[in-house]
Chain A
Amino acid sequence: MDHILVAKNVSKTYGDYTALRNISLEIPTNCIYGLLGPNGAGKTSFIRIINQITHPDVGEVLFNGEPLAPHHIALIGYLPEERGLYKSMKVGEQALYLAQLKGLSKAEAKTRLKYWFDRLDIGDWWNKKVQELSKGMAQKIQFIVTVLHEPKLLIFDEPFSGFDPINANLIKDEILQLKENGTSIIFSTHRMESVEELCEYIALIHKSEKILDGKLSEIKKAYKNNIFNIGLQAEKDAHGLLKNLEEKFNILSSHIDLAENQLDFKVQLTNSNTAGVLTELSGMANINRFEETIPSANDIFIQTVNNKDNGK
């Protein structure tokens, strides 16, 4: 598999503070990669290294197989978490300026901007000053400026903060479209649920260290803990049914709806062999729900952190 970005044992310290400790990552080409972790974990420090804003003290970063070099800047698009625009500058002029800084010619930048302004339906903003725009409007401009030079790698740091739901969806669709067109994308966020559905690969960063990375589906598989949510339609006595079940299974929690004689419970199985359990249950009542709980990235994160802390 091709990798757009490979980090090898990257460390970065600021004075006494270690921002990144021995981070190694492989980000496959043309996928959406989630860089997850709480605030202050080191995500932004890592992104700044990719953008060559800072340089690692130790370690190496490869872009498309080559050591990171200044000419790669034109191939990367970065939407920072702390983002803004010049307030007193006109929208069009500002977008042109930022695009030219990324290496586009003026004419080329103008053509592409026109396309994007029309696409996001903001064509008439060209001569407005940024201070007249709302925060969401400004974010659209920032998004356009980030993707305008058609970078091979796009980095979004907390992309959806500040967007209203409609615009957030619009941007999400645009990002998916960009991925379709072959762009590799890194999402960095501490709100893991917001990007979980988009990411194929994730890395969890905690206290300057990478604690977990890989394909999201595989990680989830590995973190399944044989907990199932089951719903049973009892014939008469739901309480009696629960009592019976409690003798056989490790019931974690339960809920009984007496009016409907409905029993819902969460059970911890010893292995993932569900066939036997299903047979047994179907002898006792009607099964109207049987599903495995898939841990969220957040659950996995918490579990990993706990395991790690306990392990120490």
Chain B
Amino acid sequence: MASKIGLIIRREYLAKVRNRSFVVMTILSPMLIVGMIVLIAYLTKVNDDETRVVAVLNESSFFMEEFQPTKNLSFVQFEGIGLEEAKDSTNALEYYGLLYLPNEQNVEKTANATYLFTKDNPNTNITQKLESIFQRQLRQDRLQKLGVSSEQFSTVEAPFEINLATFEGEKSMKGINEIKAVIGGGFGYAIMMFIIIYGGFVMRSVIEEKTSRIIEVIISSVKPFQLMLGKIIGTSLAGLTQFTIWIISASILLTLAVMLFGIDLAQLSGDSPMPAGPMGAGMSQIEGMDSEMLLYAQEILDIPWGLLIVSFFIYFVLGYLIYSSIYAAIGAAVDNETDTQQFIFPIILPLMLAIYVGFFSVFSNPHGPIAVAFSLFPLTSPIVMLMRLPGGIGEGGVPLWQFLTSVGVLIVTFLGIVTLAAKIYRTGILMYGKKPTYKELVKWLKY
């Protein structure tokens, strides 16, 4: 018995890994992904490197020192020419635009009379940057009128961040929930992709056995359930092989790419996940940043990785078995792949729901009612619970009862679904030329 399942697993595994498209995908995918990363990094760099030049024709006596170059924006001062000349020069020199400040009596009026001339509609980033320059100056000016000195103004302008702490008195941090959810979400997302890709493989493999008519030969030697189980396990082992190869070769390629092209990966993640601390001035604040960084690092190290990996394994195995046995049943019910659409949508739906609801609700509140409900519901729990688990189990994390209930419900569902799927599978593989309806499938359950 067991040796027969072993034989089936071996055949399914070999059939999968020897498949040409599988081999091609295994080799090509990491290259494609790394190539894409390199490309995106390159494009981002090119994009960032572009500095736009805005010509400034300042006829007023204000805003003399305000136009300082920043990373993507620099200024050229025009002096002693008229507006029309300035426009022509801007065009001729191919500057991005011309900022014209007419001569007015005060800051307020100057600002109101200022125009930005551009060839096309201006980029929002540029206008925002310019607006903030004016706003700062205007605010200072207005406050001065109310009797606030510029020193006082600097103090007023000093940014503020609220102090965060848990009830236990530990210092807590902004964004850490999101980071945790992203880490858990990564695991959840991996599960979803794995289910969709390899569940599809299982389904196609069942359809192949049906259309090639080998099924009846095999079914006279082994039980349909053994064949189904062997197929699911063999395919998933092939999938794990592929994943392992991907991870290893992608990390090697990525390392090579970083070394060769000197790509700054931090650049890719956009704003670093840590909320920028109070940038500005003062050595003390930079030191504060460091200690804050350490706290974040500490938090990430504090994520119960052991628990996360063990539960990833539990949820992965159970979730994959549930979904792939449904895929196997669908494969058995139909005669060709085009008939599978109507059955596949309802399977993918809970997966998508888990990812989206998970990301939205778990992000904002990992222990809110929606997050709890979806982490208990068996078809979504493998994904949603993993998003919640980086917070740990017990105090401050997922209550133990929820974790146990979730796993328990998942196991019960697994047994139920596999039994039902096996029934549909058993009947379906011997049915040819019938386009099955849901009604028909329910009937098969009773055979």
> Which residue numbers of A lie inside 8 Å of B, CB to CB?
14-15, 48, 51, 53, 73, 76, 78, 80, 82-89, 97-98, 100-102, 142, 145
Contact = CB atoms under 8 A, between A and B. Distances in A.
Nearest to A81: B216
Nearest to A12: B447
Contact of A82 (B8, B216, B443): B216
B113 interface: no
Interface in B196-248: 208-209, 212-222, 224
Contacts, number: 62
B218 A82 contact: no
A101 to B, nearest CB: 4
A100 B7 CA distance: 8
5 contacts: A51-B219, A80-B217, A84-B213, A101-B221, A102-B221
Contacts of A98: 217-218, 221
Secondary structure of the B contact surface, majority rule: helix
Given A51-B219, A78-B217, A84-B217, 5 more contacts: A48-B430, A76-B220, A82-B216, A87-B208, A142-B217
B212 A73 contact: no
Contacts of B221: 73, 98, 101-102
A308 B344 CA distance: 49
A88 B216 contact: no
Most buried by B among A76, A83, A85, A101: A101
Contacts of B222: 101
A101 B7 contact: yes
Given A100-B7, A101-B218, A82 B15 contact: no
Interface of B: 4, 7-8, 11, 15, 19, 208-209, 212-222, 224, 430, 432, 443, 446-447
> What 10 A-B pairs come out closest when comparing CB atoms?
A84-B213, A80-B216, A101-B221, A84-B212, A78-B220, A51-B220, A84-B214, A82-B213, A15-B443, A102-B221
Nearest to A100: B7
A149 to B, nearest CB: 9
B220 A80 contact: yes
A98 B220 CA distance: 10
B220 A87 contact: no
A53 B443 CA distance: 18
B216 A83 contact: yes
A53 B212 contact: no
Contacts of A142: 217
B444 to A, nearest CB: 9
A85 B218 CA distance: 10
A76 B219 CA distance: 13
A76 B221 CA distance: 9
Nearest to B212: A84
Contacts of A73: 220-221
Contact of A15 (B208, B209, B213, B446): B446
